Chain A
Amino acid sequence: MSDVLTLQALSAIRALSPLLFALLSLLVIPLVKSDLFGKKSDAHVRGGSAAVLLLLASSVAALLAGSGYASTLNVGLITVDPSEPGRLLVTLGGAVFALIVAVGQGRRAGAMGQVALFGLALIDLALAIPIGLAPIVILLVGSASLSALAAGNREDAQRARAVFRDLRTVGVLLTVIVVAELLRSAIPLSATDPAYATTSSLTAGVALTLSLVLLGMIGAFPFHHRLVRIFESLPIVGSLMVGVWIPAALSLIIFNELSLLSSSVSEPIGGAVVAALFITGTVTLLFGGVSALLHDDVGEVLGFLAVGNAGWLALGAAAIILHPSAVGPLLVALPGALVISLFGLWRISIRRHYELTSLQELSGWARRTRALGVVLICAAVSQTAVPVREFFSGGFDIAGQSGSLLITVGALLGAGTLAAAAIRLLLVGLAQESQDVHRTRKGKVLSPAAIWLVAGTILISGVAAGFINIEAAASGLLRPDPVESVPQNSTP
């Protein structure tokens, strides 16, 4: 009996390790910030350090626990079965956010570490549950909650409005996802009576509602305002978690649902769903790239780069409906999150160093802080190379699939403008120094912090670009729900 309990406890620890580390942070971070461990004035440094260590520990634990059978937890009717994509996101996300929290420091470093820990735990949990209503609801609710946590108690109207916008979006999307699940559950019953909606129409309805949830959450055009405001107003850890990492996990779940949906029907999914996704993806890419080129505030520029990344995800959704077995779209989500995180790392480093957010005022920064130049070069190279490479290596050809030259040209132009926006950031750094930059103390090139920053950046961009090939774990589809929802009172 005790052996069974021990095994159950071990599998619980393996299955829920990211969540356990997140919960542990609720105890550890306030404890190390207390007077018992040092001066009150250093409390935020200790809190930040504890958060960094917990993030690294969570990352290593997720890697060690993996997604094998020993990590599956059964509690009554609930099964938590960690997936490879979930574990991969936690392993990489833990390391990335540890670096960002360590570089950013600041008064709320401990709280930001907790935002990252809980965000990664929610991602892992959502990807560990068989598809259905629960995982998407967990991510939607988690996104709104983390956005509020990241905003903190500051009486900042701009931040509060960004959270309000997020709340409204999540409120609408929760309703849409319930409707999507209702339609999806009705598909198996549609053939039993000619009076019902047809299988084709229900399938198209599910594809449409799921796509709406995806477009709303990833911040594709015309839902981009949410993403831009998040990047403009929330701290970078919260922005990246809510604006990039949770949407990446959500897109993996929805791609999986769309793939299963598309492969379960013999006819192609009807309506204008695929065309709308192709057009939305292309417009989002173009809009994100052009807007990033035209804006001056670093936060807004980053927000628009994230919008551009959402364009690739929208194209991925269209691709997976057309070709349910294509792996290209599944490969875009993780590198995309890593690339935007690199930009986030650059932003937090540069803001900490210069305390400026305007590109005009920041001109010449790379001449004084070369480590930041390396970060941005890595980000720009990844931004230019990664999405297109992933699409082509995954066997997806936009020109061939969309069937429209306009879509192909638009998507390539969009990718070009995104690359140009990234290169512009670098050129600003190499331009004539502004007075603000000139007055700032010059950083040491060989300081431990700079070495760590550069080493971490090269590692992240290596993973994003596929030189370190662990992304394959994200290419598999998630497990389907073993128990199909059956209507309570339906007549067979």
Chain B
Amino acid sequence: MSPLSLELPLALVAALSGALAVTSARRAAWIALALMATAAALLEFRPSDSLSPALLLRLTAIFGATLYALPPGLLAWRALAHDLQPRRLLATLTEHPVVAVSAAAGLVLGAIPLALPIEGSSVLLRGAGVALLLIGLPPLLTSRYVEATARAAVVTLSGALLLRASILGALDLFSSIAIAAGFVALLLIGATVAGQLTKAEEQ
């Protein structure tokens, strides 16, 4: 795999969709989260000839949990096309300049060596990892909204895993299973708790 042919676009997609996952609302946020998770998983597991079971497991876990967590009616085509207009997405990013700058800064910071054993590490993977960490950590620590916090947790964890993969390669199978379960738990618990809080506040 030529780094610039696939890793660069994937790193850019991961950072951009990660930023949208924590700044957008409803449809755009969930779609961006699924896109970010896919790009990050492809960067982490680097499929060449065949798909690894760990990658399939990660993608199944993220997509399955996202489908469960999606509020009803969120995939209506017209509304989806409306919410995903590039103009609207750009407006969302300009409304949150700190997040957009964090994403760009993360990608640039990834180019700086970490003083860890990095000869074999990928600059682009490291950049995407640092970007996702910078994007996800602030809302994970401070957001008052449950679903946004769950999405931020997924973004942050994906960033940490990318950073790890840039130096040590992909996770072993057992750790992959545990991490996939972690992604599922974060999204499902987030959706369940958000529903309970909404109903409790309505009463």
Chain B residue numbers with a CB within 8 Å of A181 are 164
Q: Is B119 located at the chain interface by the 8 A CB criterion? A: yes
A interface size (C-beta, 8 A): 52
Chain B residue numbers with a CB within 8 Å of A485 are 168
Complex alpha-carbon distance, A132 and B120, angstroms? 22
Chain B residue numbers with a CB within 8 Å of A487 are 117, 120, 167-169
- Contact pick for B178, options A138, A196, A197, CB 8 Å: A138
Q: Mark B175-197, 1 if CB is under 8 A from A, else 0.
A: 10111011001101110110011
Question: Which stretch of B4-12, B84-92, B146-154 is in the interface?
Answer: B146-154
- Contact pick for A148, options B164, B193, B197, B203, CB 8 Å: B193
Chain B residue numbers with a CB within 8 Å of A193 are 117
- Most central of A163, A170, A175, A196 by chain B CB within 10 Å: A175
Q: Across the interface, do A182 and B140 meet the contact criterion of CB distance under 8 Å?
A: no
Q: Is B42 located at the chain interface by the 8 A CB criterion? A: no
Chain A residue numbers with a CB within 8 Å of B156 are 171-172, 175
| Chain B interface size range | 35 or more
Q: Across the interface, do A172 and B140 meet the contact criterion of CB distance under 8 Å?
A: yes
Complex alpha-carbon distance, A301 and B84, angstroms? 50
Q: Mark B55-72, 1 if CB is under 8 A from A, else 0.
A: 000000000000000000
- Most central of B146, B172, B174, B201 by chain A CB within 10 Å: B174
- Contact pick for B149, options A171, A179, A190, A490, CB 8 Å: A171
Complex alpha-carbon distance, A133 and B174, angstroms? 9
Complex alpha-carbon distance, A58 and B23, angstroms? 46
Complex alpha-carbon distance, A196 and B117, angstroms? 6
Complex alpha-carbon distance, A373 and B127, angstroms? 61
Known: A134-B174, A161-B197. A179 touches B119 (CB 8 A): no
Q: Across the interface, do B168 and A182 meet the contact criterion of CB distance under 8 Å?
A: yes
Q: Across the interface, do B117 and A189 meet the contact criterion of CB distance under 8 Å?
A: yes
Complex alpha-carbon distance, A129 and B175, angstroms? 10
- Contact pick for A155, options B137, B167, B177, B196, CB 8 Å: B196
Q: Across the interface, do A174 and B182 meet the contact criterion of CB distance under 8 Å?
A: yes
Q: Across the interface, do B168 and A144 meet the contact criterion of CB distance under 8 Å?
A: no
Chain B residue numbers with a CB within 8 Å of A263 are none
Q: Across the interface, do B200 and A148 meet the contact criterion of CB distance under 8 Å?
A: no
Q: Is A43 located at the chain interface by the 8 A CB criterion? A: no
Q: Mark A100-132, 1 if CB is under 8 A from B, else 0.
A: 000000000000000000000000000001001
Closest 10 CB pairs of A and B: A489-B120, A488-B169, A171-B153, A157-B200, A178-B160, A189-B117, A137-B178, A160-B196, A155-B199, A155-B200
